[in-house]
Chains A and B, each alone.
Chain A
Amino acid sequence: MTATAAPSAPGTPGAPQGAPAALPETKPRGMFLRGLEVFLENKLAVIGVVLLAAIFIFCFIGPFFYHTNQVTVNLANENLPPGPGNPLGTDQNGYDILGRLMVGGQISLEVGLAAAVIATVLGTLWGAIAGYFGGVTDAIMMRLVDALLAIPTLFLALVVVSIFPPTESELILVIALTSWLTTSRLIRGEALTLRVRDYVQAMRVMGGGSARAVFRHIAPNAIGTIVVNATFQVADAILLVVALSYLGLGIRPPQTDWGGMLNAGINSVYDGYWWQIFPAGIAIILVVIAINFIGDALRDSFEVRLQRR
């Protein structure tokens, strides 16, 4: 869940300066281009994309240029403050924090993205099927969603993770399985209105099956809701991994994610080792803010598309 409504998109985009503004367009532009235009006009969105791209490059390409030992513990180097050789200092195991930020970021981003994709696919299918069929199917499927939603996500994930201590891929699965619920609710709402549209009815009359309706008509037409929701899912998934790591139930050492780094740092931060929490903390904040900027802008872009329908 996230705060709603970005600053409203500028109303009259794209007219080149000096050109007569009222000139009618000769050719209606595609909805995609129109949406892209609104997206790019949102400065925050562009900042978000650039920031996210920079963080991806830092995490996934950085280690090729900045070599550090992130596997063997080196107690001779423990708790060094930032300085030559260790730009961001070292942690209590002697790992270089800048290097750790890169490898930890890889896991945070991988888990966040993968969990969001799985949760979105699952939630979309679940919601589309429930909404399309309606009636008893809908009632059963949505009561199950309601029941799972009644248990707060963190609590649900906590129980599952403490029963089955997860590897990275299992952690992705756990997070996906606990966070598809809101998506399915949103898509169900869309499906309820989409299924009575003329084109879906027409397809039914022509003999199209339910699968075709769900995959070719309901899901593609709910794409705006799906994409926007998926964006926020990534941010929420990253924060959920961080929370689980803080509780000691995240990625197992020697691997780590940003949450694990924060958790490890918090144990020694009261000894004055401030550099052990701020890099990871700031990295998490930057990623989540960037994703939220992008999500808000995407919502505006898709709203423009809706207006043209």
Chain B
Amino acid sequence: MIGFLIRRLLQAAIVVLIVTVIVFALLRSIPGNVAVAILGPSAYRNPATLAQFNAQYGFDKPWYSQYLLWLGHLLQGNLGFSWTLDQSVASLLGQRLPKTVILVGFSTIIALIVAIPIGVWQAVRRNKPVDYGFTGLSFLFYAAPTFFVGTVLILVFSVKLGWFGPEAPQGGIVNDLTDWRDLTLPVITLALVTIALFSRYMRSSVLDNITEDYVRTARAKGASGRRVLWRHVMRNSLIPIATLLGLSIPGILSGALITESVFNYPGMGYLFFQSAQKQDYPTLLGFIIVVAIATVVGSLVADILYAVLDPRVRYA
């Protein structure tokens, strides 16, 4: 296990490094001139200003020195400075991250609470109307584009019924919690898709476990059907869900780009979208680094959780 951990950590570091190279190369291949984008088109008439800007931010150096410069800053915890938003990338991410954690975190928790019982229920009532009904629903929400679901929810619950606000809370996280009526629709939109996914996994996981030998043993020893289901089958069936949770850690950081755009929610995903449109490289780079590290850590956590929860799994 220790050897496995060390190897995985090394791999993870290499993967993150490759990510930085890929993203940096990609973003440097953008046509157009950063200096002009920042200073405005009139800068073309003023070559001295252009040169000064390029020298100040290192754009006059070849791309590999720019990369190394940026990587050096990164190692010191400096993610760079967003010119378009006039703020350091770290503080920008620091502002947006809590918002996204609230949105994605809440919807993930709701999804778990709803999806686990549904999955178990479906498995127990396999090929009965209940099972077909929920399977149909999960196919529906898996297939529906998120922004379509979000828009329909706004139309029904905000425009028609007036229960919840059509736009997410714009302030800090305290504002999120006090304006829970505005937060409801974005959270539900995201939760619906997640429930569709989680309940499918839970259903098939319970079905796999229900035929295992240990279930028959427990039944033979006289345990009631209910006890076997909730004490034995349920606990083992949660293992894939734990893995799924590990894999959704990056989602909690990267945010839900589409949902955030629909509800104008100032989280990480929306920040990324705006930065891509404005070609704000430092923000894009900082964002991708954070998400990539989260993804790599997330899959590592998923692997470890898997071994902890299922003693049959052994990593050599």
Contacts of A235 in B (CB 8 A): 143
Q: Which of B146-173 contact A (CB under 8 A)?
A: 146-148, 151-152, 155, 159
B254: CB under 8 A from chain A? yes
B229: CB under 8 A from chain A? no
B118 to chain A, nearest CB (A): 12
Subset of 22 A-B contacts with CB under 8 Å? A3-B138, A3-B196, A8-B207, A143-B14, A148-B19, A150-B16, A150-B250, A150-B292, A151-B22, A151-B295, A152-B295, A155-B288, A158-B257, A158-B272, A162-B279, A163-B31, A243-B257, A247-B257, A266-B147, A270-B155, A288-B142, A289-B143
A151 touches B288 (CB 8 A): yes
A46: CB under 8 A from chain B? no
Contacts of B257 in A (CB 8 A): 154-155, 158, 243, 247
Which stretch of A94-102, A191-199, A277-285 is in the interface? A277-285
Which stretch of B75-83, B197-205, B230-238, B307-315 is in the interface? B197-205
B242: CB under 8 A from chain A? no
Contact with B along A278-309 (1 / 0, CB 8 A): 00010011111100110000000000000000
**CB-contact partner of A4 in B29, B135, B201, under 8 A:** B201
Contact with A along B117-157 (1 / 0, CB 8 A): 00000000011000100010011101111111001100100
A147 touches B155 (CB 8 A): no
B276 touches A292 (CB 8 A): no
**CB-contact partner of A162 in B140, B152, B204, B277, under 8 A:** B277
Q: Which of A1-40 contact B (CB under 8 A)?
A: 2-5, 7-8
A147 touches B261 (CB 8 A): no
Contacts of A259 in B (CB 8 A): 145
4 additional contacts (CB under 8 A) given A150-B19, A151-B288, A151-B291: A151-B19, A151-B295, A155-B272, A269-B151
Majority-rule SS of A interface residues: helix
B155 touches A274 (CB 8 A): yes
Q: How far is the CA of A150 from the CA of B290 in the complex (A)?
A: 10
A170: CB under 8 A from chain B? no
B30: CB under 8 A from chain A? yes
A76: CB under 8 A from chain B? no
A143-B11 contact, Cβ under 8 Å, with A247-B273, A269-B155, A270-B159: yes
Interface size counted on chain B using CB atoms at 8 A:
55
A285-B143 contact, Cβ under 8 Å, with A8-B207, A160-B26, A162-B276: yes
B296 touches A150 (CB 8 A): yes
A287 to chain B, nearest CB (A): 8
Contacts of A59 in B (CB 8 A): none
Contacts of A160 in B (CB 8 A): 26
A129: CB under 8 A from chain B? no
Q: How far is the CA of A150 from the CA of B197 in the complex (A)?
A: 20
Q: How far is the CA of A266 from the CA of B264 in the complex (A)?
A: 14
> CB-nearest residue of chain A relative to B27?
A159
**CB-contact partner of A5 in B151, B196, B207, B292, under 8 A:** B207
> CB-nearest residue of chain A relative to B151?
A266
Contacts of A4 in B (CB 8 A): 200-201, 204
